[in-house]
Every structure is written in structure tokens, then in C-alpha cells.
Amino acid sequence: MNIFLYEMKSLRKSMIMWTLSMLALAALYLSIYPSMAKDVGDFKKLLENYPETIRAMLGINLDYIASLLGFYSMIFSFIILCGAIQAMNLGVSILSRESRERTADFLLVKPVSRITIVTAKLGAALTTVVITNIIFIACSTLMANSAKTGEFSLKIFFLINLTMFFVQIIFIAIGMVVSVFFKKIKNVLPISLGFVFGFYMIGALLVTDSSNKVERMLSPFKYYDITYIIQNGNYEALYLLIGAVIVVVAVAVSYIVYNKKDIHAVS
């Protein structure tokens, strides 16, 4: 419990910063929606000039762009990118912090097992993203209600927002497994940005059609198709399963490797 509380305290500042940043981004774009809705014809013509690849990358569907949910799906692609960076930072840092801050010896000589250490740190990371998502979903729902020009489905809006939580869980798991295979990590951010933007660009460049199921498996950003959610009011079971498998395998490997590896301080 002491490890969990210490981790939560150390993660508090970054959690507040990331949450406020994503809320600011949502507020900025949602404030534009009422004026866009008045001139939706011109806005559609502008978007039609974008290449199909760019529209797919940004989650733009011209059939729904006039609605608040369709417009929100476009801006949400940037928000979920921020959420993924936050999660990848958490995943990489929670198991590498002791080496980086030269406190490995202090922690590992304590009368607790390494499994207990990993569990406490993982619990803190998960709690951080849970709190982030609760605050973000609550505040963004209030913003959407203020910006709306007509009725929209709160259920679908919630499902869209919840996809960020699923993507963050995947990136926490990926970050953990990456960190246990690096002997010495001096700086978390370059690794996090490299992996997140790498997956984002894979999704943007390879996946221009949501029906390409095999290609979509290459990028977690494409597991939750917003157009499908708007049309069907639920998620695609295949990609929920794939995401769950990635998380379970990555976390299991992290436990196994961390339990056996030599922990060194970064010089």
C-alpha cells in the first residue's frame, strides 16, 4: 500500500497537467462547433478537398460531420493521441523510475516481493488513467451539452470517450513491456513519443478503410472505429478481444521479466 500511495503522489502532478491539457483541447474545438454548424455546407466543401488518407487519419466522415458526434469524432483523434502519450509515459516510467532516479537498491531491499512492487505500480498507473478519464468524460459531456445545436446521444458520446481509456490501457501495457527489456532508460519521453507516433502513423498510412481488418490490427488507434460506434452504438468485439490479449500478454511478460532481471541504476 505504501508503494501504491507513493506512486500516486508522484504521478499526481502529471495527471493534472495531462487532464487539463486534454480538456483545454476539447473546449477549444467544441467552442467552434456552433459556428461551424451554421455554415456546414462550406465546411463540408473544405473537407472534401482533403485527400481521403488525411480524412481517414483524422477520423473525418463527411456523412456525419454536421452532427456534434461526427464533429467530435474528428477532434477526438487529437485528444486520444494525447491520452496515448500520457499512458505510454506511465507504462515506461513506472518500472524504470528506480533505475533512473538511483533508488533501485533502496526499494528492492525492502521486505516485499517484486511481484508486489509491479502490482502496486501498475495499480497506480491504472488508477491515474481511471481518474483522468472520469474527469475528462464528465467535463467534456458538460461542454458538449453547452455547444450542441440539437439533440445527440449521450450514450454514443460516452462510448466514444471511453475508447481513450481502452487505448490508454493498451499503451500502459506496451510501455511496461518495453521498459523491462531496456536495461537503462535515461529519458522516458523520447521512447514514449517514438512508439505512440509510430503506431499513429502506421494507422494513418496503412489503414484508410475500416473494413481492412488485418491492417487495423497493426495500430491500437484503429481498434475503435468512431463511425462504427455512431452507426451501431457499440464496439467491434474482435478488436476488444485483440486489445485484451495485447494487455494480458504484455503485462504477464512484464511481471516475468522484471521478476528475473538485474536492476541497475542509470549512470
Predicted pLDDT of residue 111: 61
Q: How confident is the model at residue 185 (pLDDT cuts 50, 70, 90)?
A: confident
First-to-final CA distance of the chain:
30
Return the percentage of the chain with pLDDT > 90, whole number: 37
Looking at the predicted structure, is the pLDDT value of residue 104 above 60?
Answer: no
Sign of the CA dihedral 25, 186, 121, 118?
A: positive
Could you count the other beta carbons within 10 Å of the beta carbon of residue 221?
Answer: 25
d(CA 24, CA 11): 20
Looking at the predicted structure, is the pLDDT value of residue 42 above 90?
Answer: no
Q: Which phi and psi (to 5°) does residue 187 adopt?
A: -140, 125
Q: What is the CA radius of gyration of the chain?
A: 20
Predicted pLDDT of residue 102: 59
Q: Are 254 and 118 in contact (CB under 8 A)?
A: yes
Q: Are 126 and 170 in contact (CB under 8 A)?
A: no
Interior/surface letters 123-133, b for 16+ CB within 10 angstroms, e for the rest: bbbbebbebbb
The residue that leads in pLDDT, 108 or 237, is: 237
pTM for the predicted model, two decimal places: 0.88
